[in-house]
Structure 1
Amino acid sequence: MFCQGCHTPNGMGGESVPRINGFIGNFLTFPEGREFLVRVPGSAYSPLSNKELAEVLNWMVINFGGDSIPKDFKNYTENEIGALRLKPLNEIDNYRKELLSIIGL
């Protein structure tokens, strides 16, 4: 399954799936949030190569991030993706709640 399978093609998510549209950039304001986007099961276990996943995540941030993208955003790299995929998250709900509290939501 790819990102749009849960988050929908327009990035607005659903009842139990958070939106990424206009929001995804908030995760990029601190290291754990940036890592989270790679370590979630849909990313970490994706059949995409590390390079392809970096390209997809960068595309998602640029196309869905809007005003939430930090001014100092740096693109994900193939090496960064490779390292983070070695630490996948399998239980994300509580961890995401912790990250959202850091963001202030």
Structure 2
Amino acid sequence: MKGAPLVLTAFAAMTVALAARAGEQPIPGVTNAAQAHQDYILKCQGCHRPDGGGDDRSNPPMRGIVGRFLTVPGGREFVGQVPGVATVNLDDRRLAELVNWTLHRFDAEHLPPDFRPYTAEEIGALRRNPLRLDRVATRARLVAEFENAGSEQGKP
């Protein structure tokens, strides 16, 4: 009978997880949201924080900003070439799902209306040319572009 509490605890956890998943909306380009979330926890969360807030120094925030990269030329490529994406030890399929999950989880409101999910093939091609020393300057240029575009849209 010593194993009974363990079995009951595992059953309760599984029931909660299934109930939570039943209420989830499908995410384009993500076949297994639970796996993508787990990959985020294991591969990204240590630097970008559980809420995607980052630290604004060496680990930029994703929350409320990452989708905006897809609205400017070169931004889509940037997302697949930043070192944390390009060099992570996941296969291209899981990485594409992780990127798509991250975009929807932390910045769905800024995704362009014609957003198309990353594919394994696209991620594989992008990560062959990772950004290194130029990542900071590239990010700053892209952020300036989408911030300027946003302020111009707000003009009467």
Partner residue in 2 for 1:102:
145
Equivalent position to 2:55, from 11, 14, 19 = 14
1:34 partner amino acid? R
User: In 2, distance between residues paired with 1:37 and 1:4?
Assistant: 16
Question: What's the secondary structure of 1:65's corresponding residue?
Answer: helix
Paired amino acid for 1:5: G
The separation in 1 between residues aligned to 2:96 and 2:53, in whole angstroms, is 21
DSSP 3-state at the match of 1:60: helix
How many pairs align?
Answer: 105
Structure 2 gap ranges (5+): 1-41, 149-156
What RMSD in Å do the two structures reach over aligned CA positions? Answer: 1.5
Q: Note the 1:56-71 alignment, pairs <5 A.
A: 56-71=98-113
- Name the CA distance, whole Å, in 2 between partners of 1:5 and 1:50: 21
What TM-score, normalized by structure 2, do the two folds share? 0.63
Q: Which residue of 2 aligns with 1:49?
A: 91
Query: 1:104 aligns to what SS in structure 2?
Result: helix
CA apart distance, 1:12: 0.8
Residues 1:3 and 2:44 aligned together:
yes
Instruction: Tell which has more relative contact order, 1 or 2 (C-alpha 8 A, sep 6+).
Output: 1
Q: Deviations over 1:42-93 (max 9, x none)?
A: 1111100000100000000111113211111110001101111111001211
1:80 alignment partner, one of 108, 122, 125:
122
Q: 1:90 to 1:75 in 2, by over 3 A?
A: same
